[in-house]
Structure 1
Amino acid sequence: MSIVQIMAFFVRQQVFPSLILVMATLIALYCANSVHADGYFSLLQFKVGPLSIQHWINDGLMTVFFFVVGMEIKKELLVGELSSFRKAALPAVAAVGGMVVPAAFFFLMSPSGEALRGWGIPMATDIAFALAALSVLGSRVPNALKIFLLALAIIDDLGAVLAIAFFYTEQIRIFGLLIAFGLLLLIALLKRRECRPYFVYVTIGIAAWTGFLYSGVHATVAGVLIGLMTPINFHRAGWVQSEPIAEKLIHVLHPWVTCFIVPLFAFANAGIAFAGTDFTEAARHPVALAISLGLVLGKPLGILSFSALAVFSGFAPLPQGVGWTQMMGVGVLAGIGFTMSIFISTLALPPDLDVYAKTGIMLGSSISFVAGMLILGLRRPSSALFPKDWRG
């Protein structure tokens, strides 16, 4: 059995990658607040070529994460849970609410100035953590609810990617952008001519990543765009590939992303040094409060209210066998922002505010996890916040 097959087995358990992520976060927090702090931060800032190790992780390895995200978005749009209006309507509306309301919470509670750039932080949902929580609950959660959360989180990811591309880009160098898009156009042409060797796409993809890095647009955007361009089906005269390219790449890369890249990202970015203060004091900072409340209250309020509007207006039905209590539980679990929230935080805020932002992310995500598990685990599946004949 290969290492990829072993990792894929553990990834299918869904809880395992989340445990690795939690361990990486705890190790980072320990290193940042112990006698090893100097060594920890020196390691992250150590230069390898033009970039520090932390930048290679954030701008390099995380591009692979976003590449997988791009392929998963395309797969769901073409053949999955977002492939028809009926399937996509409720998750799309709920996701919009789950992004708009937390951002509004942040604007209302955050201090003015540079801190306002953090409005995108509470918008995100960590798919791995949220789905792992549902997996722990097992048969108490209907499969339709898991599918709804997956679709909602994918649209959330798309919203986060758009926010990174359009709102968290400081300065754009047109020359680099032209090179990057020119290379993406070349990939599209090669795909149209059904050029088969994968190494050609990998080589051009790395060159496009370099172009985005030089342009000032965050290089991970290259990962998403190339992921969206990856063929779902590959046909050739006299030959049809048995397994779609995107499916094959997701199968190979997903274990590495969830078990290695994302935990490494957490280790490199979750190390909050509480120098001269403590967690309680940091959690009371306006930025931390704005983010934690945006995740804990804004997320479920946005998802539930927008879903209710869609259902009661007849725009979209509730998933089969799902009640409003379970919808509220999923809305609360969607407040587990973590990976994507930390990523946006590193782009949006200066280091002095980033500490408070990450404190708010960890606090809000932890509360959302516990509260969501309690709502879904302790409530009977048949209970509802609204009468059954209101379900649509």
Structure 2
Amino acid sequence: MIDAPVTPEETPPLDTDVHATGPAGLGASPDRDPAERLNRSFADSDRLAARRVIRPVQHFLHTEASGGIVLVLAAVVAIIWANSPFAESYEAFIHHHITIDFGFLTLDEPIELWINDLLMAVFFFVAGLEIKRELVHGDLRDPRTAALPITAAMGGMIVPAVLFTVFNAGGDGAAGWGIPMATDIAFAVGILTLVGTRAPASLKVFLLTLAIVDDIGAIIVIALFYTTSLDAVWLGVAALVVLAIVGLQRIQVNSIVPYIVLAGVLWLAVFESGIHATIAGVVLGLLTPAYPFHPPEAVTGTIHNRLQRLRALPADGRADEDEQNELEGIAQLSRDGVSPLRIWERRLHPWSAFVILPLFALANAGVNFDGVSFGSLFSEAVPLGVIVGLVAGKPIGVMLAAFIATKSGLARLPRGVGWLEMGGVGLLAGVGFTVSIFISGLAYADPHLVEMAKVGILTASVTAGILGFAALAARKTTP
């Protein structure tokens, strides 16, 4: 029988150095309190490297704008590299082929496509986790609270697509109507963070929810409209893998190994099926359990029992094996008490923000501007449609949909948010970048159209970001 959860007042503090037989710790003085040694990491120490290097780096990585900053730096490096005397090495880098031979199947793709098809599947897995979290625990759980950002996001997708189509209907670029629909969460939230206290806290929640709904829309668009041909056999394999994952969850298999193997098979099946491989990441994200395998009260009670047994072990140095067993059990129970969704989101978000997205920008933002004039941005239909769609279509769509929703009584504006703030957020939603560039590569086979779309995306994203920041910064203080 499991004991009832124990409150902190009822549970005596655990003596970290249970038998005082372990090492004093790297760089720690033997007479220092063991609990202090355990809780004080090297980064918390007063050493020069910790103060001057590690802590500033940690602070940067935990700043919300940092992901956008790294993304911008990677894009700038790509643009400079592609337009430098070393442009040929850039092309050689992104087009260098990597081959993986499974025996029954050989995958031979350039680095650019490995990043876009495989690494971006991890990015979309994290996006799927965020969507699942919002659906289960966040603002999307309450339809009334979510009504405004959902409606605004839909307006912010429809109007840009319509405006793009107006400029490109019947032309070679017509297939790119999905390009201006997307919002880059990292950039948009990063810019809003730079606004600081001038923007009310409720505005960030609104923007996050809008961007997540926007992600859902982009995923649906990619799956339905940017899939060329379908292979029924591989689709069947993908469906069986999904059923296997659900089955393992039902019988509460919490070992990571079978899920990683099945995730790899699912990615391969989706990749070969004709649906874009990143959809596998979204499916896995939505399948990830949002609740822990064991109730928190059961985990707490069992950990308390193990702590009691740990304290009762003899202090003669002969109980090291039992000690390790108890500690290993406590560590496992602690993991079981946290939802897999939370675990994977925390583990993969830094990799997504600081490795995958910068690599994507490095491989995709390197537009060569030879032969591209400023006038072509407004003379060619594709970049013109992208710019108008993102810079004008996004804020118009967001504000128009929000106005209809509030006037009809379906929703109300967030606390402290007026139409100036809604316009600013609408402009920030026009920072397309990552997903817009991603869709441009799916929409066009003609390299010239892809390049012109990227030029339009870069121009529009910079313009929308600056205008959005200016609109929100014009606000003096939050109410």
Q: Which residue is equivalent to 2:456?
A: 360
Do residues 230 (structure 1) and 288 (structure 2) align? yes
> C-alpha deviations, 1:87-137, integer Å up to 9, x for none?
110011000000000000000012524311100000011111111111111
Question: After superposition, where does 1:1-392 map in structure 2 within 5 Å?
Answer: 9-49=59-99, 50-110=108-168, 112-236=170-294, 239=299, 241-282=336-377, 284-350=379-445, 351-380=447-476
Task: Please give the TM-score of this superposition, normalised by the length of structure 2.
Answer: 0.77
SS at match of 1:235: coil
More helix by share: 1
Partner Cα separation in structure 2 for residue 26 and residue 165 of structure 1: 30
CA contact (8 A) 2:235 2:269 kept: yes
**SS at 2:338's partner residue?**
coil
Asked if the contact 1:303–1:331 (Cα under 8 Å) also holds between the matched residues in 2, the reply is yes
Partner-residue secondary structure (3-state), 1:51: strand
For residues 42 and 227 of structure 2, the distance between their equivalents in structure 1, rounded to whole angstroms, comes to 40
Shift of 1:28: 0.9
- Measure how far apart 1:23 and its partner are: 1.1
Pairwise CA distance, 1:355: 0.7
Shift of 1:192: 1.2
Determine the structure 1 residue equivalent to 2:33: none
Aligned to 1:390: none
**1:360 corresponds to which letter in structure 2?**
G
Q: How many residues align?
A: 383
Offset of residue 63 of structure 1: 0.5
Sequence identity percentage: 42
Say if 2:294 and 2:337, in contact at 8 Å, map to a contact too: no
Structure 2 Cα separation of the partners of residues 118 and 186 of structure 1: 36
Give the secondary structure class of the aligned counterpart of 2:464. helix
Letter matched to residue 84 of structure 2: S
Q: Deviation at 1:5? A: 10
- The 3 A distance-change label for structure 1 pair 114 and 5 is farther
Q: Contact between 1:11 and 1:258, CA under 8 Å: does it hold in 2?
A: no
Q: What amino acid is aligned across from residue 430 of structure 2 in structure 1?
A: G
Q: C-alpha separation between the residues in 2 aligned to 1:254 and 1:94?
A: 26
Query: Cα distance 1:47–1:7, how it changes in 2: closer, same or farther (>3 A)?
Result: farther
- Once the two structures are superposed, residues 309-334 of structure 1 have per-residue CA deviations (whole angstroms, 9 ceiling, x without a partner) of 00011111111111111111111111
User: What is the SS of the residue equivalent to 2:417?
Assistant: coil
- The answer to whether the 8 A contact 1:323-1:381 is kept is no
- Aligned in 2, Cα 1:174/1:132: closer, same or farther, shift over 3 Å? same
Q: CA RMSD in A?
A: 2.0
Structure 2's unaligned 5+ residue stretches are 1-40, 44-53, 100-107, 300-332
Scaled by the length of structure 1, what TM-score is found?
0.93
| Unaligned 5+ runs, structure 1 | 384-392
Post-superposition shift, 1:380? 4.2
1:30 is matched by which residue type in structure 2? I
Q: Which has the higher mean CA deviation after the structures are superposed, 232-241 or 85-94?
A: 232-241
Work out the CA distance in 2 between the residues paired with 1:168 and 1:275. 29
Equivalent-residue separation in structure 2 for 1:8 and 1:160 (angstroms): 32
Give the drift of 1:34: 1.8
2:170 and 2:362 map into 1 onto residues whose CA distance is: 30
Instruction: Give, in whole Å, the separation in 2 of the partners of 1:173 and 1:5.
Output: 51
What secondary structure, in the 3-state scheme, does the structure 1 residue paired with 2:289 have?
coil
Distance 1:177 1:224, change over 3 A: same
Verify the 8 A CA contact 1:283 1:360 in the aligned structure 2.
no
Q: How far apart are the structure 2 equivalents of 1:75 and 1:209?
A: 22
Aligned AA (2:203): L
Partner in structure 1 of residue 306 of structure 2 = none
Higher CA-based Rg = 2
SS at match of 1:221: helix
In 1, the alpha carbon distance for the partners of 2:356 and 2:412 equals: 37
- Aligned equivalents of 1:71, 1:118: Cα separation in 2: 27
SS of structure 2 residue aligned to 1:82 = helix
Structure 1 position 280, deviation (Å): 4.6
Amino acid at match of 1:234: P
- The CA deviation at 1:234 is 2.1
Q: Which amino acid aligns with 2:408?
A: S
SS of residue matched to 2:345:
helix
